[in-house]
A and B are shown apart, each in its own frame.
Chain A
Amino acid sequence: MLPISYWRNRKIYTRLLGSRCKKCGAEFFPPVKVCKKCGSREMEELEMPKTGVLVSFTKLTEPSYEFEEYVPLYLGFIRLDNGVQLVAPLADVVEEELKPGARVEATVRKWAEDGEEGIIFYGYKFRVVKQP
Chain B
Amino acid sequence: MEGEDKEMSKVFVRSAGLIPVGEYWEKSIGELMYEAASKAIESAGDVKIDRIIVGNMFSGYGTHQEHLGALLASVLGMAGTEALKVEAACASGGMAVHEGYLSVKSGEYKNVLVVGVEKMKDIDTGHLTKALAMAESAEFTQAVGATFISLNALLMGAYMQRYNVPEDQLDYFPVIAHKNGATSPHAQFRRAVSLDDVKRSPPVAPPIRLLSSAPSGDGAAAVILSSEKGDVEMLASETATNELMLFQRDNPLEFKATKAAFAKAIKRAEITKDKIDFIEIHDAFPVVSALSLEAMGFSEEGKAGRDAESGKYNLDGELPIATFGGLKARGHPVGATGVYQVVEAFYQLTEKGGKNQVQGAKVGATQNVGGVDTTSVVHILRRVS
Contact = CB atoms under 8 A, between A and B. Distances in A.
A121 B143 CA distance: 9
A60 interface: yes
Closest 9 CB pairs of A and B: A56-B157, A65-B126, A58-B153, A64-B130, A77-B154, A67-B145, A64-B129, A85-B247, A58-B205
Interface in A48-73: 55-68, 70, 73
A29 B129 CA distance: 24
Interface stretch (B134-142, B193-201, B345-353): B134-142
Contact of B247 (A5, A77, A124): A77
Q: How large is the interface on B (under 10, 10 to 19, 20 to 34, 35 or more residues)?
A: 35 or more
A63 B248 contact: no
Contacts, number: 123
B275 interface: no
Contacts of B138: 1, 5
Interface in B121-161: 124-127, 129-130, 133, 137-147, 149-151, 153-158, 161
B204 interface: yes
B157 A55 contact: yes
A70 B145 contact: yes
A25 to B, nearest CB: 15
A64 B143 contact: no
Contacts of B150: 58, 60, 75, 87
16 contacts: A1-B138, A30-B139, A56-B153, A56-B156, A59-B203, A60-B150, A61-B204, A63-B147, A64-B127, A67-B145, A73-B145, A75-B153, A87-B146, A87-B246, A88-B144, A112-B145
A75 B247 contact: no
A28 B248 contact: yes
Given A58-B206, A87-B141, A77 B147 contact: no
Contact of A65 (B127, B151, B208): B127
Contacts of A123: 143-144
Given A60-B145, A87-B146, A68 B126 contact: yes
B87 interface: no
Contacts of A85: 247-248, 252
A75 B154 contact: yes
Interface string A5-20: 1101100110000000
A124 B143 CA distance: 11
A36 interface: yes
B230 to A, nearest CB: 43
B243 interface: yes
Given A55-B161, A65-B130, A9 B143 contact: yes
